């Protein structure tokens, strides 16, 4: 389509202003979108949640609420749990281009109809990337660091004794390629969400996500963000954080770590001596005491209960189809 300018010359619309969904747009409230997302989660369709997030502003002319962000985090965790051993070992570019490629629909409404049709295999990637990586990017870069730049420089209260479980050369290579992909993607994405102020429940869901994808080493940083934003955590949130943190703050495997405490019930609720092995674990506990007070820091029994809750949640989400 050409446009006649005031001086009579012919001009063409800029390609970057082209909106393929302009004729389909209609307005929905965040509450309606959230309900759609919750239903998608109930039917184990995190891919629908990711697509709805993409199209909220373009197609539904609305912006996400905190509820939308919460469901997005839950969807990323579900996608990580649904990820089969096949997708873990097939390179990401093969997952996107060979095993999961489908004919491109002509419109968003056709795309959603295709996604919701019987026999459709949910796509476990988002923008050809593992969903948790993109959700992590959204939370860090597009929400927190965009609205509160000083959060980049918070003092992290504790550091892992050893790395997360997903370590090694292959994981390091994947991490490097993922960072390159996200840098490219961030140049394309201009979304900022100054209206979103994460709550303690938002951070709780995010900590659960980090634990599920073996990013427990980042949990002290998340807690430091909460403190900097004056977001007071519940005792349950701190218990979940410590349960995950024990995986990288102790040299013992987490099962052995908690089995030792379970076999010594007379020690439950007491303070263990600080050792080289548990030094960083206790350092984070001491930091929590200084932050919220001793009475609001979970005891061993509460942390053990949190660990049991995490395990049950993992088992519940593990089945794929």
Break the chain into its structural domains and give their ranges: 24-317
Low-confidence winner among 54-68, 113-127, 238-252 (lowest mean pLDDT):
113-127
For residue 297, pLDDT over 50 is answered with yes
- Tokens 């993992």 sit at which residue? 314
Rounded distance, CA 274 to CA 277, Å?
8
Residue 153: what pLDDT?
Answer: 96
For residue 192, pLDDT over 60 is answered with yes
Residue 228: what pLDDT?
Answer: 98
**Residue 222 CA from chain centroid, whole number:** 12
For residue 319, pLDDT over 70 is answered with no
Residue 214: what pLDDT?
Answer: 92
User: In 95-195, which ranges are continuous DSSP H helix?
Assistant: 108-115, 131-137, 145-147, 169-188
Rounded distance, CA 110 to CA 168, Å?
42
Phi, psi values for residue 129, rounded to 5°: -140, 155
Residue 79: what pLDDT?
Answer: 92
Closest CA to 177 of 90, 91, 80: 91
pTM of the model: 0.75
Most confident among 124-133, 179-188, 220-229 (mean pLDDT): 220-229
For residue 260, pLDDT over 70 is answered with no
Percent of the chain with pLDDT strictly greater than 90: 46
Higher pLDDT, 216 or 125: 216
Evaluate whether 58 touches 27 at the Cβ level (below 8 Å).
Answer: no
Looking at every residue in the chain, the average pLDDT score rounds to 76
Average pLDDT of the segment spanning 51-73: 90
Higher pLDDT, 262 or 69: 69
- Tokens 């080493």 sit at which residue? 217
CB atoms within 10 A of CB 53: 22
What's the pLDDT band for 245 if we cut at 50, 70, 90? very high
**CA quadruple 88, 201, 203, 115: dihedral sign:** positive
What's the pLDDT band for 41 if we cut at 50, 70, 90? very high
Average pLDDT of the segment spanning 269-273: 45
Average pLDDT of the segment spanning 247-264: 63
- Tokens 């504790």 sit at which residue? 158
Longest dimension (CA), the chain: 89
Residues with Cβ within 8 Å of residue 74, at least 6 apart in sequence: 41, 205
Average pLDDT of the segment spanning 33-52: 93
Q: Which helix (H) or strand (E) holds 204?
A: helix 200-212
What's the pLDDT band for 102 if we cut at 50, 70, 90? very low
Higher pLDDT, 206 or 182: 206
What's the pLDDT band for 58 if we cut at 50, 70, 90? confident
For residue 168, pLDDT over 80 is answered with no
Percent of the chain with pLDDT strictly greater than 70: 60
Structure tokens at 67: 């509820």
Average pLDDT of the segment spanning 130-138: 94
Higher pLDDT, 103 or 182: 182
Rounded distance, CA 151 to CA 228, Å?
7
For residue 224, pLDDT over 80 is answered with yes
**Residue 166 CA from chain centroid, whole number:** 16
Low-confidence winner among 55-69, 111-125, 138-152, 213-227 (lowest mean pLDDT):
111-125
Residue 28: what pLDDT?
Answer: 83
Residue 9: what pLDDT?
Answer: 46
């Amino acid at each position: 389509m050409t446009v006649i300018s005031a001086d009579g010359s012919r001009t063409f619309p800029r390609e970057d202003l082209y909106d393929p969904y302009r004729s389909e747009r209609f307005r929905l409230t965040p509450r309606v979108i959230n309900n759609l997302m919750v239903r998608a989660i109930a039917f184990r369709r995190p891919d629908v949640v990711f697509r709805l997030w993409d199209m909220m502003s373009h197609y539904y002319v609305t912006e996400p609420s905190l509820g939308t962000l919460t469901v997005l985090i839950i969807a990323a965790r579900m996608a990580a749990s649904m990820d089969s051993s096949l997708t873990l070992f097939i390179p990401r570019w093969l997952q996107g281009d060979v095993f999961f490629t489908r004919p491109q629909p002509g419109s968003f409404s056709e795309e959603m109809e295709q996604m919701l049709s019987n026999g459709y295999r949910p796509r476990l990637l988002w923008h050809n990337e593992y969903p948790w990586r993109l959700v992590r990017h959204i939370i860090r870069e597009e929400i927190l660091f965009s609205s509160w730049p000083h959060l980049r420089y918070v003092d992290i209260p504790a550091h892992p004794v050893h790395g997360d479980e997903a370590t090694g050369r292959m994981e390091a290579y994947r991490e490097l390629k993922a960072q390159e992909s996200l840098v490219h993607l961030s140049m394309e994405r201009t979304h900022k969400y100054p209206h979103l102020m994460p709550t303690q429940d938002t951070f709780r869901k995010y900590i659960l996500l980090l634990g599920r994808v073996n990013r427990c080493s980042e949990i002290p940083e998340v807690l430091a963000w909460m403190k900097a934003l004056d977001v007071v955590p519940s005792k349950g949130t701190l218990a979940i954080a410590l349960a995950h943190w024990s995986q990288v703050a102790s040299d013992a495997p987490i099962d052995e770590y908690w089995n030792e405490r379970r076999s010594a019930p007379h020690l439950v609720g007491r303070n263990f001596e600080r050792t080289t092995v548990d030094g960083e674990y206790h350092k984070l506990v001491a930091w929590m005491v200084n932050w919220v007070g001793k009475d609001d820091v979970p005891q061993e029994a509460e942390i053990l209960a949190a660990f049991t809750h995490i395990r049950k949640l993992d088992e519940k989400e593990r089945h794929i189809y």
